[in-house]
Amino acid sequence: MRSKASSVHFAPLLTILVFTFADPWADEVTEWNPGVGGAAGYDNPETALGPPTRTTVDDLCTSPFYPAWGTDELVSIGAGGSITLRFNEPVLDDPENPFGIDLLLFGNCGFIDQSMPDGIVGGLLGADGGELEVSVDGIEWIRIPGCQADGIWPTRGWRDLGPYDLGGSNRPTDFTRPLQQSLTMDDVLGLSWAALIEHYDGSGGGTGVDLADAGVDAICCVRISNPSGALLSPELDGVADVSPEHSADVDLNRLVNVTDLLLIISNWNMEDAGREDINRSGLVDVADLLLVISQWGETP
């Protein structure tokens, strides 16, 4: 029999292990119906788990002009089909989230390049819709009106790569940060690559959802469905819980600790950094270090 003293010492270890493996992505497929007419080969629902794709199958970075397209990166939902995903940690309606957005859905839409390879926005291609429902308990469902699961904004994988660059880098975009929600296609039509990525502002894209639209404080599950008779089949690459503004959880493991501190130190004085620039001042410096210390041990 384990002694009381050993149990006391064991409990903190369990806490560390739980939060080490926490993350902002969907964790489990609880139901899958492929429907009719989905894209051939894109029928593995497990591809919707974990983070969205940063570099796609031909070693090109995902960008607003070059979306993910691998069969192991996307799942296609045919007419009458649906996919239900569960998060291990609740997704909260958090007023501290950027622009009030709590959830991000990543499909494989992309902008049309009207001056390839310059990256000038000429329209949107592959925004195939899909209806979104959310649930507090996985039993009762609430539809989010007007939300298109496979819609704007297209995914951008890396902060320092262009619209058609190969490979990856050590500067990922933030898949837990939404774009400004007042933006519309009219705002970006005709924009150059440089002007477009200013709107992204370090975000990895995604369709933003405010849980206030469902009238709930938190959810555990999302369901994306395609109506019977639909002509288009939406694709899904991932789903993300949005991080609060100025969260010091740099590595997105749902615990502010020494790994976040080390990431700040390793990126010290970097300009235009990613999550390491916690206060988004444009430079990783002592202010970001103090934010890690002030949030030490917190679980965002």
For tokens 């410096």, name the residue.
Answer: 285
- Strands in 103-106's sheet, in edge-to-edge order, are 207-209, 103-106, 238-241
3-state secondary structure of 83: strand
Q: What is the pLDDT of residue 4?
A: 32
Q: Please state, in angstroms and as integers, the Cα–Cα distance from residue 279 to each residue in 71, 142, 254, 269, following that order.
A: 37, 34, 18, 13
- Report the interhelical angle of 286-294 vs 258-266 (nearest 10°): 180
Q: Helices marked H in the chain — which ranges?
A: 4-20, 185-188, 193-200, 258-266, 286-294
For domain 246-300, the question of CATH label 1.10.1070.20 is answered with no
- How far apart are the C-alpha atoms of 243 and 98, rounded to whole Å? 8
- How far apart are the C-alpha atoms of 285 and 280, rounded to whole Å? 11
Half-sphere exposure for 75 (CA within 13 Å, toward CB): 28
Per-residue pLDDT of the chain (300 residues; tens, 9 = 90+): 333 333 333 344 444 444 446 999 999 999 999 999 999 999 999 999 999 999 999 999 999 999 999 999 999 999 999 999 999 999 999 999 999 999 999 999 999 999 999 999 999 999 999 999 999 999 999 999 989 999 999 999 999 999 999 999 989 999 999 999 899 999 999 999 999 999 999 999 999 999 999 999 999 999 999 999 999 999 999 999 999 999 999 999 999 999 999 999 999 999 988 999 999 999 999 999 999 999 999 887
* Rama region for 10: left / alpha / beta (φ>0; ψ in -120 to 50; rest): alpha
Q: What is the pLDDT of residue 299?
A: 86
Q: What is the pLDDT of residue 21?
A: 66
Q: Please state, in angstroms and as integers, the Cα–Cα distance from residue 173 to each residue in 51, 161, 194, 200, 284, following that order.
A: 12, 10, 15, 9, 16
CA 176 to chain centroid, in Å, comes to 5
Q: Of 223, 216, 206, which Cα lies nearest the Cα of 133?
A: 223
Assigned token pair, 199: 């709107």
- How far apart are the C-alpha atoms of 109 and 206, rounded to whole Å? 10
Is residue 54 packed enough to be buried (19+ CB in 10 Å), middle (13-18) or exposed (0-12)?
A: buried
Assigned token pair, 56: 């796609």
Give the DSSP letter string of 222-291: EEEE--TT-SS--EE-EEEEPPPTT---TT-SS--SHHHHHHHHHTTT-BS-STTSTT-SSB-SHHHHHH
Is residue 47 packed enough to be buried (19+ CB in 10 Å), middle (13-18) or exposed (0-12)?
A: buried
DSSP 54: S
Q: What is the pLDDT of residue 8?
A: 37
Q: Where are the domains of the chain?
A: 25-244, 246-300
- Strands in 131-135's sheet, in edge-to-edge order, are 28-33, 82-92, 218-225, 131-135, 142-143
